Amino acid sequence: MDPVPPDSVNAVGDGRPSWNEYFMAITDLVASRATCLRRKVGAVLVKDKRILCSGYNGAPSQIPHCIQTGCLREQLKVPSGEKHELCRGVHAEQNVIIQAAYHGIAVAGATLYCTTQPCSICAKMIINAGIKKVYFKEGYDDPLSLEMFAQAGVELIQLD
137-152 per-position pLDDT tens digit: 999 888 999 999 999 9
Rounded mean pLDDT of 37-46? 94
For domain 19-158, which CATH number applies: 3.50.30.30, 3.40.1110.10, 3.40.50.300, 3.40.140.10? 3.40.140.10
Whole-model pTM over 0.85 = yes
Closest to 157 in 3D by CA, of 11, 16, 18, 32: 18
Confidence of residue 115 (pLDDT cuts 50, 70, 90): very high
Confidence of residue 10 (pLDDT cuts 50, 70, 90): low
CA–CA distance, 51 with 56 (Å, rounded to integer): 15
Annotated binding site: 91, 119, 122
| Residue 138 near residue 116, CB atoms below 8 Å | yes
| Residues recognised as catalytic | 93
Annotated binding site for Zn(2+): 91, 119, 122
- Residue 44 main-chain phi, psi, to 5 deg: -135, 130
Domain-by-domain residue ranges, the chain? Answer: 19-158
Measured between alpha carbons, how far is residue 152 from residues 59, 93, 125, 145 in Å? 29, 17, 12, 11
